[in-house]
Amino acid sequence: MNVGQLTEELYHKIRLKSPKEWFSEKIKYNIDNHYDERDYARQTGRTTYNCLTAISHLMKGDDVLIPVYNTNMSRTMSSFIERTMLEIDVPIAKSQRTSGYMQLHNGAQLMFVPMGTKYARGVSQLTGLGMGSKERTVDVVLPDNVIFDVINKQVTYDESEPSDDELFLNECESMLKHDKRINPNKKTFMTSCGVGFENGDLIDHGFTGALIVDLYHDRHNMSVLIDGQIRRWHRNDLNLMCKVE
């Protein structure tokens, strides 16, 4: 069972709707009620999916890093992850709620990295993990969607220089173990369940749909055409989206 399938199984175990089903229903609800923030993507289950994906990786023995926008979010997410693991009877060997650090009996570790107010000194200077994070490497980096919402809400900005948010995410990615740094095939994006997306594919997004213009617009984002405008969306959100065949 791959990570995507295991994540879907976790939804079933804790009695939640399928993530794609919830995402689709919530998008349509937001459109009907004119909740247009983040292109109608509010409360569509992106954070829940990230948390359950993290649990799936931990259960497979992967070390996971979750970059978050602030420490409040790390506490919220770590509490949800811990409650869920207790509910599905996955034993936790060590838990530090103040930093969000967790370790399973299989040795897999979960770490949170909240953004700071200064970026030039690097990740090890910004986090609740302190200097200890400088030497740590992980198997998986799962940034919280809020960071991408902040980056992508800007209609125009200087594309010649990355924003502080992007620099932070790039630093977090540099903590990946070398054998996990896979160069993507920039013609296709494969979801965790093995569904492939390409440029020109139409995404089910409420009543209008969204056309993928450039899957690899930048390191983290794709560009889509929706309602006659080009928008940037976090590429990994395709795990929650359905392709219109």
Q: Encode pLDDT of 6-51 as tens digits.
A: 999 999 999 999 999 999 999 999 989 988 888 888 889 999 999 9
- Site of tokens 């160069």: 183
> Could you give the count of Cα atoms lying within 13 Å of 79 in the half-sphere of its Cβ?
7
In angstroms, the CA 176 to CA 189 distance is 19
Q: What is the mean pLDDT of the chain?
A: 85
Most distant CA pair in the chain, distance:
51
Closest CA to 96 of 80, 86, 111, 83: 111
**What average pLDDT score do residues 92-99 get?**
82
Q: What is the per-residue pLDDT for 127?
A: 47
Q: Is the pLDDT of residue 57 over 60?
A: yes
pLDDT in tens, 199-230: 999 999 887 789 999 999 988 899 999 988 99
Q: What is the per-residue pLDDT for 158?
A: 59
% pLDDT > 70, the chain: 88
- Residue 208 carries which side chain, given as an amino acid letter? T
Q: Is the pLDDT of residue 62 over 80?
A: yes
